[in-house]
Each structure stands twice: as C-alpha cells, then as structure tokens.
A and B are shown apart, each in its own frame.
Chain A
Amino acid sequence: MTERETMTFDVLIVGGGPSGLAAAIRLKQLLPDLAVCLVEKGSEIGAHIVSGAVIDPHALGELLPDWRDRDSPLTTPVTDEDMYYLTQNRAFRVPALGLLMPHLANHGNFVISLGDFCRWLAAQAEQLGVEIYPGFAAADVLIEEGRVAGVLTGDMGITRAGEEGPNYAPGMELRATYTLFAEGCRGSLTKTLMARYALREGADPQTYGLGIKEVWEIPADRHRPGHVVHSFGWPLDDHTYGGAWLYHFGRNLVSYGFVTGLAYSNPWLSPYDEMQRTKLHPLFRPIFEGGRRLIYGARALSEGGLQSIPRLTFPGGALVGDAAGFLNTPKIKGTHTAMKSGMLAAEAIADALAGKEAEPVSYTARFRSSWLHEELHGARNIRPAFAKWGTRRGALYAGFDAALLRGRAPWTLHFTHGDNEALAPAASSPKPAYPKPDGKITFDKLSSVFLSNTNHEEDQPVHLRLRDPDLWRPVNWDRFRAPESRYCPAGVYEVADAETEPRLVINAQNCVHCKTCDIKDPDQNIDWRTPEGGGGPNYPGGM
C-alpha cells in the first residue's frame, strides 16, 4: 500500500455549493492569511448542483456588497409570479398571492442557474486566495481523540474487485484545525458525524423532497424572462406534498421541475413520472411545444426546517447549509439561507481561533440571533401543517399562519417519523397509471440521464451498497415491490428475473447523486458513499 500524503490547512471545507463557498469567502475576508481549502466531488464547481433557482440576494448583499459590479450571473430579475392549484384538466390561480402567501413573494429576487452562480462565487473565492480542488470527494472523516481533524479523500484507480489498478493513486489526508461540512442535503460524511456526535438528539426527524429538473430552450415568442410559476395539487394526491415550478430566465431558457415530498406513502409512486406527466397539463404543455430539452438532473432537498435542524457544532467543526437543513421550505429557497449559515459558521471559526477553542460553539448563538433564525422560525409551521392535514387543508393553514399570524403562532407543529418509515405495503396501495413518454414533451428515464452527462469510471467498487443484501427480498421486494426502481430518477435500480427469482441490479454508473435512495429505502439498507472523485453528473452551464 502506497503511503498517504498529508496537507494541513487552517480550515477545510467539504463541498462547493453556496454554503461552502460563502463560508470560504467570509473566512478570507475576516482573516486574509488563513489557509482555506475546499474540496468538491463534482468534476468542476457547479457540476453537481441542481436547484430552481429563484434566489433572494439578501445573504449575497451581506457577503459581497458590491456584487452588482462583479459581473455576476444574477441577470434575470423576477418580474411576475403565479401560483396555481391544479386539477387534472384545470388550473386555478391563487388570487392576491402577495397578500395570502407573503412568504412566497419574490419581489427583488432573481432567476438564476445555481450552478453558474456557484462557478462565479468560486472565482470570487479564488481571488481571495481560497484553494479549490474540484474532482476530489471527501470519503471519510478523520477523527482523533474525539475531535474532527480533517478528511480522507477517496482513493483513485481502485478496480471493481477492490484491488489497486494500474492508475491507482491513494487518497490524501487533508487536515485542518476546523472542518466545515457543506455537503448539501443528506451529506454522506454529515450522516456519519450525526451518528458519531449524536447531533440529531432533540431535533425532529428530517423530512425531504426530491426535485427533478429539466432545462428547456423555448421559442422566443413564448419566453417571458423573470416569469415565475408554481403549482400544487394534481397529479399528487392530497396526502403527498409537492408540486411543479417553471421559471423563465436567460436567453429563451426555462427551468422546469417537480418536487415530490419523500414522506409519500404509496410505494408505486414514481416522482419521475409525476414530473413528466405534469408537463402535459394544459397549464404547462403550450410552453414546451416546439422547444427542446437541454439538461436533466435531480437532487434531494431537506424540508424539515427549524424543528429538524440538528446540533450544529462538534469538536473540530460544524455543519452548514442544506447538510444541516437550513432550507426555507414554504419558499423553496435554500440558497440565501445556506450562504448565511456558511457566513455565520465562518465568523464562529474566527471566534474559536481567537479563543483557541476546539468547537466553534458561537455559531449556534450567532444563528439564534440572526435574521436566518427569524426567517425559519416564521416559516416553521407550514411544511408540518401539510404533513398533518394534507395539501388542501395544509394550504389553508399556511395562508392563515402566514397572512394572519405572520408566522408568530404560539405553537410549533412537529414531524413524527422519518421518510423511510412512511411507505404502505404495495399490496394495499393503488397503482397510478402513468402515460407512456411521447418523445417530444415527455421522455423515458434513460434518455433523460443521458442529458445529465453522468459518467463514473466503470472499473471501481460500486458506491451504492446494501448493508445487508438478504434484507432486500423480504422487505424491498415482498412488501414494497422494489420502490427504489421507481423513486430513483436515474434508473439505477432494476429488478431482474421478477417472475422467477427476483434480484436487484444496481447500475451505479448512472447515479446522479440525488441521495434519494439513502433517504427513502424502507430499512435504510442502501448506503450511499462517495464514488471516485469527478464521477457523477456533469451539469453544464444553465443548470
């Protein structure tokens, strides 16, 4: 075995999304001489980013007050917005949206590609001297004497059989006084830290959504830059949270996508097919006709909000962004909150360095007294209301809580169980009838994955593992008829020999790193680990 090399930094950041990049920038602003290193598993910054995205520039304005002079990709301001409740053939516009649902108002916000925004933030960070290394996944946490001491990057060139191949390059020890985990929703190392330091104690279980997205180029006469549309209701039933978005931005581009709350109970449900068929609704169909689909991708998001945020710090580091669950769910906005949490954590690290403390504890207090806490506190009851009362009554509650109580309800609603515990047996669940793809507006999974430019070195160990392969047959198959073959948006899971001896086939090279299987598998038997760095989707500009 070749020796591992070691590099030591003051601060190491795992993940190059908005939270990690904002933390890096804030650190260098506070302490210009600090050695700050950031690793990103995507082949470049932005390669693994999937988001809407309508962003609120609040945190950006605090981080880089002169951002307007820096050639930023915030070029499409939101001009108008509509929210619809859908039935199968009709769309009812929610009137006086700003009044009824002030938490949704998007005035002053921008429609962007979050991937492009991250590329731009990374350039700002590099100018300040942050060392950014895309193409390297943090594969394990280094813990020494109870303190996080950094991470190990994954080995490269290990063969499928687990041996050192001709191009073997061992992973590296990246050590740091403080490590920030900015892995986004359901981070693989974040998960081990939560277990190791019991960070979830006292927090509600996290609840998630799966967002599946397409970018289209549409004829210019139908393009309304800055127009923002959301829908809820059909095709989901009243007990399943979710809906579609459609944002016009850039040069004749639209971002279309669909979020399905992963607390859904019908194992036959296919988030992918829900997203495809929603395009056929009379509200959306005319937008896509004559257009061409350019990009496809998927990513989970943390929807639990304030009640589900775990303890944020541990000796040697902290969690930031969607890894901790800072998303504002009713707004479906997590970018400004992720950035703000990164900035607060950076400030706490500066405190901890000054006081030579092992744990950047002031992060929690800084969060509690920030606008971020106030914002999440105001939004805290809306998502759980949908969980408790379903879509229609939940929406009524949301209007009541937000418009009348202004988020200051004297009560807090709670989540009671994890998304993996929500499935009903397949035998007692109705099978939805999804239309066949037409190849023009709706497509099959494989041609979609093709548009995510996903690529994994083939000769490497499978990065999706069943902790106990023997559980698959009695649980996943006998009870739920392999829900993973439906919720995975990339067609990674297939059942072979279903008629005779059903067994699970894992096409790991198609994985778009959305993390849904790690979340939704009924007995949490599927374990998502980082594949070789650089592998996964290669989302281009515009995503």
Chain B
Amino acid sequence: MKILVPIKRVVDYNVKVRVKMDGSGVDLTGVKMSMNPFDEIAVEEAIRLREKGAATEVVVVSVGVAQAADTLRTAMAMGADRAILVQSEESPEPLAVAKILKALVTRESPDLVILGKQAIDDDMNATGQMLAGLLDWPQATFASKIEKTGDGIEVTREVDGGSETLALALPAVVTADLRLNEPRYASLPNIMKAKKKPLETLQAADLGVDMGRRLTVVSVAEPPGRKAGVKVGSAAELVEKLRNEAKVI
C-alpha cells in the first residue's frame, strides 16, 4: 500500500498572530512557519502504517511557496520516503489544492491519501472532502484510529457524543483528527539524513490546474479583547447578572 500525505506550511502554532493595521489579513512578515499540526499527525500515521508493515511507501506533497520545501524536509526527517513540492503563490485555496492533489493522485496512484482535517491558519476543513469528491473515492473524516483490514481499512472517527467506525474500500481519503496519534520528533540524525532524500519540484501550472481565486476576503479582525472578570457578592447577584447582563439564562 502506498500512502500520499499532503502537508501545508502554516504559521507556527506558538505564534500569536496579529491582524495588519488595515484589516486586510494577518501580518506574516518574519513570522515563524511550521508544518500544520494536523498534517504532522497525518504524516505520523502514515509512517506508523509503514512501520507496521501495512504500507510500503509514504510520499509527502505540499502545494505552496518555495520555502514549503523545508516543511517537506521535516516530514522526511520524521520518516516519509520522498517528497513533491508543487510551487504556487502563498496560500492557494482549498479547491485549487484539491485539484492539484487529484492530478498527483493520477500520477502517483496511491492506495490511501491521509490529510490533516484542517489547517490551523484558515481552518477551512475542506481540502480532504473536496479531493474525495473530485476523485469519487470513499472518505472518512476526523479519524481517531486507522486500522488496515484484509483489503480495506477501518477508520474510527469522532462524532458528537461518541465515535463511529467505518469500513472503507481502497483507494480512500482519510482526514486526521487530534487524537489519532502523538507525532514523533524529527531527531537531529534523521534531519541530517533527510537532506539526502529525494524532493521533486513541480510548477502548479504544469499540472494544468486553474489556480484562480474564487474567494474574496472582506475583512479580517482580531477577536474583541476579553473584559476583566468581576466578583459577585451572592448567588442572587450572579443569577441577576447571568440573566440581565450576559443574557444566557
């Protein structure tokens, strides 16, 4: 079984982003970028499947700017076998990414595509589903467990109030949720070795995909600052405040 893992370079989860003064977006100058944490989980799962003997090859792919090559190197340092960088402008939209991935699936013919459930920069939660739709493959989103069965996979997914287990025929698309696993560190020796693993670079245009924008950002604003808490003197006052000020009861 061959696994394709698409990964995205996003603002590091430790960074407190700030909105540009003119409200046109988030200020990304000089900000630390890393692999989307859900994608790290996807990479880890693919590597574990390979280590268990359920998969033979893990290929990582990223659609984005040239520096996304660093993110792909990190995935190879974790254990992915090789990488493909599809160069495009900053932050392509989910539909464009799904179309590019479809073109790569046709080229690479993986049996399984594991993606992060969403990217922490725009929280779109769309690429996996769109890819499955474009490919007309079965999909299991928000996976918290993936198990190889005879000729398919079983995926446990998190749903409201519990979990649900699906059986999927391959090829399939799975998106990874937080509890699927805890990704390993890329150790220094492995980072050094990853420098020598193959990384192929393609241009988005070469894959014949229309990268045109379909979404317009109207405005970006920071959440309103939290008001300082107040101490209440009695239960009655609390109820009064909840009813009349917070209007929650």
Contact = CB atoms under 8 A, between A and B. Distances in A.
B189 interface: yes
B182 A538 contact: no
A16 B70 CA distance: 18
Interface residues of A, number: 32
Given A133-B188, A451-B16, A453-B14, A167 B30 contact: no
B14 A113 contact: no
Contact of A294 (B12, B18, B188, B191): B18
Q: Which of A133, A156, A540 has the most CB of B within 10 A?
A: A540
A540 B15 contact: yes
Contacts of B15: 453, 538, 540
Nearest to B18: A294
Given A166-B182, A217-B21, A44 B188 contact: no
B189 A540 contact: no
Nearest to B188: A172
B244 interface: no
Interface in B1-24: 12, 14-16, 18, 21
A43 B32 contact: yes
A443 interface: no
Tier of interface size on chain B: 10 to 19
Contacts, number: 57
A119 B30 contact: yes
Interface string A34-70: 0000000001101100000000000000000000000
A540 B32 CA distance: 7
B29 interface: yes
A400 interface: no
B185 A156 contact: yes
Q: Which of B29, B32, B188 has the most CB of A within 10 A?
A: B188
B192 interface: yes
Nearest to B34: A43
B184 interface: yes
B165 interface: no
A127 B193 CA distance: 19
B134 interface: no
B18 A167 contact: no
Nearest to A250: B29
B238 interface: no
B109 interface: no
A220 to B, nearest CB: 9
B31 A541 contact: yes
A261 B30 CA distance: 31
A528 interface: no
A359 interface: no
B203 interface: no
A5 interface: yes
Interface string B21-48: 1000000011110000000000000000
A161 interface: no
Given A47-B32, A541-B31, A172 B16 contact: no
Contacts of A455: 14
Contacts of A167: 182, 184-185
A538 B185 contact: no
B201 interface: no
Contacts of B149: none
A217 B18 CA distance: 11
A463 B64 CA distance: 38
Interface of B: 12, 14-16, 18, 21, 29-32, 182, 184-185, 187-189, 191-192, 195
Given A131-B195, A172-B188, 19 more contacts: A5-B188, A43-B14, A44-B32, A46-B30, A115-B30, A119-B30, A133-B188, A133-B191, A133-B192, A153-B188, A156-B185, A169-B187, A172-B187, A252-B21, A453-B14, A453-B15, A538-B14, A538-B15, A540-B32
Closest CB pairs A-B (n = 3): A541-B30, A169-B187, A5-B189
26 contacts: A5-B189, A7-B192, A43-B12, A43-B14, A46-B30, A47-B32, A115-B30, A131-B192, A133-B191, A136-B188, A156-B187, A167-B184, A167-B185, A169-B184, A169-B187, A172-B188, A172-B189, A294-B18, A450-B16, A453-B14, A453-B16, A538-B15, A540-B15, A541-B30, A541-B31, A542-B30
